[in-house]
Chain A
Amino acid sequence: MNKAPVNKIIPSSVVDGPGNRTAVFFQSCNFDCRYCHNPETIHLCTGCGACVKTCPAGALSFAEGKVVWNEEKCCGCDTCIRTCTNNASPKVKYMSAPEIWRKIEGSLPFIRGITVSGGECTLQAETVRELFAIAKAHGLGTLLDSNGSYDFRNHPELLEVCDGVMLDVKADCEERHRWLTGCSIKPVLDNLEYLASVNKLEEIRTVCIPDSLDSKKTIDTVGEILKPYLEKKDIRYKLIKYRHFGVRGKYQNFKEPAEQYMLDLKKHAESRGFRNIVII
């Protein structure tokens, strides 16, 4: 059975899709976004042990060259996260889909679905597929939050058990996408079109930073690709205000957008055919 690194499971999330959902956050991401607000989820632990020394609760130790986290002892102070120079966390558990499901089960019958996120959850595509299959068998909805790097087109078995993808479109063009994330925008835009064409595009998400990113153009790029689909189906566009909270120090000089800036973007998205636009 596949085991995947799980950063945390939130029993009740109201910001990861419709209704009350349990959200599973997987560890590790193939993007390295400058504005990432939980950078401790980017990499896997290398076992350097720096955090073992600084942990005030004695909750971290070494065993077989790996850092072991004692959940009982942990006081949740996040000193380990601040100590880590590798954008990782020692508080990660390797879990199989049935093991994750046993944690989610405690949230029944209070949730209408589950959402997997990260990190980048598609790096654990097989575990996600297995987990979604179990959730579906229990009548739950299944949503997936992705940076768009995964090749959904060639893995229909995952989409079969996934109700929809909440897709990040972080920039308008290759150059800016590479500047921001370190990776190409091409697979993201391919997925945008493909997911819309197979009716699996639940939501598009764009984090907006005035001056540094041209969110208007990003909306143009997205709007252009989705034009034929928007006429048939209302697709939600979530415009997310950049916030300093959690962002690494060296990238903290980005500007937080004003309310009016976001309202202008909303208006622009409306002109591009979007009817369901959410600003958060």
Chain B
Amino acid sequence: MKHVIVGAGPSGVIAAETLRKVDPTSSIIMIGDEPEPPYSRMALPYYLIDKINEEGTYLRKSSSHFGNKDIDIIRDRVSTIDPKNKSLNLEQHDAISYDKLLIATGSHPITPPIEGMDLPGIHSCWTLEDGRNIVNKAKPGSNVVLMGAGFIGCIILESLALRKVNLTVIEMGDRMVPRMMDQTAGNMIKSWCQEKGVSVHTSTRVDAIEKDSGDSLKVKLDNGEVLDADLVISATGVAANIQFLDGSGLETDEGILVNDRLQSSIADIYAAGDVCQGKDFSTGEYSVQAIQPTAADHGRIAAMNMAGKDTVHQGCVNMNVLDTMGLISSSYGLWMGIDGGESAKLCDNDRYRYLSLSFEDDVMVGAQAVGLTQHVGVLRGLIQTKLKLGKWKDHLIKDPTRIMEAYLANTQAIGHNAGVI
């Protein structure tokens, strides 16, 4: 059996390793288009603050890891796929055939349709190469404008602030991380950043970027303000890397459409990670989540199915954890709540603490937390196990911090379970 994986990010790597485990005699080829060994974009913010060097971003630390597992890595880009002949055309190498194909090509930063976005001095923060450029230009005292205060914007915000630049953040939503957290939390993060000396403009758009004298830029905002910038970082969202599939017959929407085995519309072709429009645990619908835990789950499940071990994907809980200049926030599942569902909220603006739990009947379906680092994972556990909370829902409405107790009371030998053992 010959497995070919397009993409060398977390999903592709986990798929390759899983395939080696469950299909030991197969041939496995992984194709990646970046010059470095497989690395993690998640680690880039820590590279920006010199917490780690480039090697620290690598997904696997041993240089012989892939060789030892007999996983061949080809450095190239796939130009087109030919499902009829089960082969891939590469830009530089000869075409390669496959028995089973996994597309794990990830996503790319989108460029907003704004005049001047092609000027030098405007970077995304997506690849190691981007990271190197930012490290070079974000010098102490330089003026940096960050476009977008979504997840990626917020996570690199701290790196930039630590590099002692004069930072201004422009977000068109009415709060920070609008796709991850509600008004209360998003505005709490905003005032935290402002208190730390970062200028944050929400409900604001960039109208145009123009070249100024030398290397500097002028960023024009829709409120009439004009900002000087030595560096502009664009973090306005990502989109799935599906362009190369045009004409292949593979069905796509926001990402590659798959069934609950992560199999695409064409037999023998699977998709995983940011490029895959997979099942969402909470909604039952298929959407692109573009998060690390989902990429890992997809990689493993797609590989199982490619190896002929029928494995159903139950759907991933959409979740994120974010550190914005030391303020840690996380959100899970249907964090915005559901119609007719109850919720439990605890909010302390002065101390930057917020906890919001959403329920459907007595089952937790979503959660958001700001300033909480202890036992946060249990929120995922409570949601994904659909644990019936019984009277503990009322306890949580009175005191949402008792999430661990709510979990333990319903799973351990205490309370109504005390008779067991």
Is B one of A's binding partners?
no
List the interface of chain A (C-beta within 8 A of B).
none
